[in-house]
Amino acid sequence: MHKFGFPLKIQNDWPPVSVEWLWFVPTADGMKLQSCPLFVSELSVGDEIIVELDEDSCVRKWHHRERSHRSTVWVLRVSSTADPAHLAPLRELACNTSWSSQVGVASVDVPPEVDISRFDEVIESLRSSGWAIAYPSWRLEE
């Protein structure tokens, strides 16, 4: 596996890091993403990309070679009542979650076979429990 850094544009002190490091495996024609991004938009687990790297393994440029059918959703704690335990129902739907306690944000890897109506119910429950939701890479049809 290879780890590549994606430089991030910081606006209004967000995101709290300047580079996000993501894991990839090589394919015949590119690199396939293995980890769910917390701050890089337009990427989901399983995406195959073509990358141009600098000498420090940071990405200068990238583009999709092939997009997976998976989606990425970001869940940000915006209230002190928001508890990471609230993310458990997403895992029950076969979504994978990656939680950063330092910044109070989770990345959710949503498989294409997820029950959309149940997923939406969980998302609405999260919103009402003090979480903000973003859809940086949504590929599922309603």
Domains of the chain: 2-66 (no CATH), 71-137 (3.30.70.2380)
**Residue 28 predicted with pLDDT over 70:** yes
The 3-state DSSP class for residue 91 equals helix
**Residue 78 predicted with pLDDT over 90:** yes
Q: What is the pLDDT of residue 102?
A: 87
Q: Let me know: does 27 contact 43? Beta carbons within 8 Å.
A: no
Q: What is the pLDDT of residue 141?
A: 75
The closest of 54, 94, 76, 84 to 131, measured between CA atoms, is: 76
